Amino acid sequence: MKAHVHVMLKDGVLDPQGEAVRHALGGLGFDGVQGVRQGKVIELDLADGTSEDTVRDMCEKLLANTVIESYRIEMA
């Protein structure tokens, strides 16, 4: 079975990577870009029967820095 974890910086946390992308897009002539936020998507290939709680435990312990990041789990 698969699970997808979407990890994004929390609102209010400065995103220098997103700013760099926005600036670069502007330099390429894309002028309608008002903001860019960049995060991670982690695709997990798990043994059948793995629970969402286990995936949440993985997020809390490793996959997300919960001080500055929030995460969303999609079980598939």
Binding site for a second copy (CB under 8 A): 6, 8, 18, 21, 24-25, 28, 30, 32-47, 50, 54, 57-58, 61-63
Instruction: Kindly report the number of other CB atoms within 10 A of residue 12's CB atom.
Output: 6
Distances (CA, A) of 19 to 15, 26, 30, 45: 6, 11, 14, 32
Taking the least distance from each CB to a second copy, the nearer of 24 and 67 is 24
Q: Which is nearer to a second copy, 13 or 33 (CB)?
A: 33
Residue whose CB is less far from a second copy, 62 or 67: 62
DSSP secondary structure letter of residue 58: H
